[in-house]
Amino acid sequence: MKIVIAGGTGFVGQLVSQLLLQEGHSVIVLSRNAKRSTPTDATQAQHIQWDGCTQGPWTQECDGSDVVINLSGEPIADKRWTPNRKQQLTDSRVVSSRTLGQAITEWKTKPHTFLSASGVGYYGDQGSKVVDETSPRGDGFLADLCLEWENAAQKIEALGLRVLNVRFGMVLGSEGGALPKMMFPFQWFLGGPVLPGTQYVSWIHQLDLARLILFLITHPAIQGQVNAVAPNSVTMKDFCHALGKAMKRPSWFPVPELTLKIVLGELSTMLTTGQQVYPKKALSDGFSFAYPTIQEAMNSIFSQPST
Ligand SMILES: NC(=O)c1ccc[n+]([C@@H]2O[C@H](COP(=O)([O-])OP(=O)(O)OC[C@H]3O[C@@H](n4cnc5c(N)ncnc54)[C@H](OP(=O)(O)O)[C@@H]3O)[C@@H](O)[C@H]2O)c1
């Protein structure tokens, strides 16, 4: 298949691109900073310039694609959530989907599938309640953002495509996402859970996420919202314990909620609240997780055999 990945230069995009190429698909990465290159063999993706908000030569170059994946978006946790930053976070996701939708209307041959990233922030703070794809949206900025993001993707269905909104949990890998930032205090023997410690973390190993995306685009009967999380969410306390164990470091130094709130503002709610999300659809459709438990996932990232 010919697959377009907008935002394919990022942490998740690189992994997905690599897996798709290994499986024999051809990949076009849309990037705002594409170094123009023509792949010399089938193991490389083609990189094409776009700006995420207007049509251009990229529109015609992507015609004939079978699948379009949108992973674009300003990083959620890099800056404090000022009103201006919140708008950038929303626009970079919603406008990029809309722009891809406009391009697809012009293509002579339409793709069969549009897959968009979303997040488990959709469910808001759920305490210890278990939620799945049938659960209602929660409250807060991330829940509102996810709704707008998913609605923008869903509109593309009207063009005759299957649409998948994939709600990612915290994606675990040492090269990107939240884990490298969380590892830092552990490296200095100063790691510990963000309090209260009982808040749930829904997570997924990076390789399982790439495999799940491949599974979804190759199983045409699946559509709509899909939770991309391992079947065993854990509390923040257990998450940090597993991280410390894999790094052979203690998890003794808790981070008080107030400290985090002073440093990060509203963004701190991403760490001090959580949700226990269950991958009901992925499991019922036959997907098998290579890393179903947090210790297996952490051990694989830090290259230690599971115990
Ligand atoms: N990683 C996680 O744990 C996690 C969890 C839940 C949801 N997600 C979502 O999944 C998606 C992929 O995550 P990721 O970790 O791979 O993110 P990432 O590493 O930050 O990559 C996102 C990509 O989006 C593009 N981008 C950034 N700002 C943009 C803008 N204003 N307009 C258009 N494109 C823009 C960038 O590509 P160029 O600079 O090359 O254009 C970047 O490579 C994101 O939308 C993220 O919010 C991730």
Rounded to two decimals, the pTM is 0.96
Give pLDDT, residue 304: 59
**In the structure, what pLDDT confidence band is assigned to residue 219 with cuts at 50, 70 and 90?**
very high
Pairing of strands 234-235, 200-201: antiparallel
Give pLDDT, residue 74: 98
Provide the mean pLDDT of the chain: 95
What are the angstrom distances between the C-alpha of 109 and each of 25, 69, 154? 18, 16, 20
What is the distance in A from the centroid of ligand 1 to the CA of 205? 17
**In the structure, what pLDDT confidence band is assigned to residue 263 with cuts at 50, 70 and 90?**
confident
Between the CA atoms of 85, 90, 91 and 92, what dihedral angle is there, to the nearest 10 degrees?
90
The preferred substitution site among 9, 30, 47, 116 for testing ligand 1, maximizing ligand atoms within 8 Å of CB, is 9
Q: Is 80 exceeded by the pLDDT of residue 42?
A: no
Tokens of 242: 């597993």
Q: Is 80 exceeded by the pLDDT of residue 16?
A: yes
Q: Is 60 exceeded by the pLDDT of residue 307?
A: no
Check pocket membership of 52 for ligand 1, CB cut-off 6 A.
yes
Please name the residue whose Cα sits nearest to atom 9 of ligand 1.
117
What is the distance in A from the centroid of ligand 1 to the CA of 12? 8
Q: What span, in angstroms and rounded, lies between the C-alpha atoms of 202 and 216?
A: 20
Q: Which residue's entry shows tokens 């488990």?
A: 120
Please name the residue whose Cα sits nearest to atom 7 of ligand 1.
119
Q: Can you tell me the mean pLDDT for 263-279?
A: 94
The preferred substitution site among 11, 19, 98 for testing ligand 1, maximizing ligand atoms within 8 Å of CB, is 11
What is the distance in A from the centroid of ligand 1 to the CA of 11? 8
What is the distance in A from the centroid of ligand 1 to the CA of 5? 11
Q: Can you tell me the mean pLDDT for 183-197?
A: 92
Q: Can you tell me the mean pLDDT for 170-179?
A: 95
- Percent of the chain past pLDDT 70, that is, above it, reads 97
Tokens of 261: 């709130």
What is the distance in A from the centroid of ligand 1 to the CA of 265? 22
Q: Is 80 exceeded by the pLDDT of residue 41?
A: no
Check pocket membership of 33 for ligand 1, CB cut-off 6 A.
yes
Provide the H-helix boundaries in the chain.
11-22, 57-61, 83-106, 141-154, 179-187, 206-217, 236-247, 257-264, 269-272, 280-284, 294-301
Phi and psi of 267, rounded to 5°? -55, -25
What is the distance in A from the centroid of ligand 1 to the CA of 224? 21
Check pocket membership of 244 for ligand 1, CB cut-off 6 A.
no
Q: Is 60 exceeded by the pLDDT of residue 231?
A: yes
Give the closest residue to 213 by CA, choosing from 84, 60, 67, 98.
67
Check pocket membership of 76 for ligand 1, CB cut-off 6 A.
yes
Is residue 33 exposed (0-12), middle (13-18) or buried (19+ Cβ within 10 Å)?
Answer: exposed
Strand partners of residue 114: 68, 163
What is the distance in A from the centroid of ligand 1 to the CA of 9? 8
- Per-residue pLDDT tens for 86-144? 999 999 999 999 999 999 999 999 999 999 999 999 999 999 999 999 999 999 999 99
Lowest mean pLDDT among 1-5, 108-112, 259-263: 259-263
- Per-residue pLDDT tens for 76-88? 999 999 999 999 9
Sign of CA dihedral 263, 268, 178, 13: negative
Domains and CATH numbers, the chain: 2-169+203-228 (3.40.50.720)
Q: Is 70 exceeded by the pLDDT of residue 37?
A: no
Nearest-atom number in ligand 1 for the CA of 121 is 6
